[in-house]
Amino acid sequence: MTMFSQFPFCRTFAALVFFGAFALAVQAQSRVVEVPPVAQPAASRTEALPEKDEKDEVVLYLGYSLGGPPLPGSTNKAFFFPQLIVWKDGRILFGQFKPTPERRFLDDTENWTYFWGKIDLQKVEELVKLFQKDFGFGKNGGRIVDVGPGGGTWDLQGVIDGKTYNVSTWEQFNNLTAESLANRPVSGQVDGVWGEYKTVDGKPLTLREFYDLWRQIKGDVIKWGEAVTKENSITVQVVVEGWKMTVKDKDGKVLVYVSSLNRR
């Protein structure tokens, strides 16, 4: 059992895309958006989110990205599908993925329902610190990479005190069937140096160990996002075209427009 899974808040509720500096060019074109702080009484629903006309920092991100542009004839223009985004000012976007037999895949946009609200950033920092500890990141940030030449990629990234902690994987769990692959170390980057990823105590993190951690932590992060947006949030429309994302409320007002982002 990981330290992350023992965190009381996350256990109670069952806990790139944005890379580099983990920055987005975001413009909140709606001057007053009536979205309450999460877990606050209904009387506070008139709180206005601040207007943004410069780059916003994202402090937590979990999402899925495709390996390339859509196939010829495809009507799907999305290259990435955010599941959880938390901005530095506390705005939060959470997506529920509920596939149907007819539409089973992550890149079927009809399978996603998105919610929008606000969150206490202290809770976010606690979450990031827990997966930082479980993956064995040092205090200066770092990156764990388990990706291949094709296929979609899941990304989890958190920022604490300007330090970035990033995990990327294509979830090729079938690689664990070969003992030689299961025991190989995953790749990593710390302070700009690539090599075998080693935990803070200097031990290599094997692919089997990494996948055990990833399954648990990814699931806990999704449950956390669902929990903190369950009560006081609004349903929003998210439109992704290429690496551009627009978030609109039910009246069509733009809450967030991501005009560019650093994928690598």
* Structural domain includes residue 223: yes
* Structural domain includes residue 191: no
* Structural domain includes residue 204: no
Mean pLDDT of the region 62-87: 74
DSSP state of 50: P
At residue 9, the pLDDT reads 36
* Per-residue pLDDT tens digits for 106-123: 666 778 899 999 999 999
* Structural domain includes residue 221: yes
Q: Which residues are within 8 A (CB) of 125 and not within 5 positions of it... i.e. 6 or more apart?
A: 59, 160
* Domain hosting residue 117, numbered range: 3-135+152-160+215-261
* Per-residue pLDDT tens digits for 157-180: 999 989 999 999 999 998 898 898
- Name the domain count of the chain: 1
Average pLDDT, the chain: 75
Binning pLDDT at 50, 70 and 90, where does residue 80 land?
confident
* Structural domain includes residue 189: no
- In terms of Cα–Cα distance, which of 83, 96, 165, 154 is closest to 125? 165
- Judge residue 219's burial from the number of C-beta atoms within 10 Å of its C-beta, 0-12 exposed, 13-18 middle, 19 or more buried: middle
pTM of the predicted protein model: 0.73
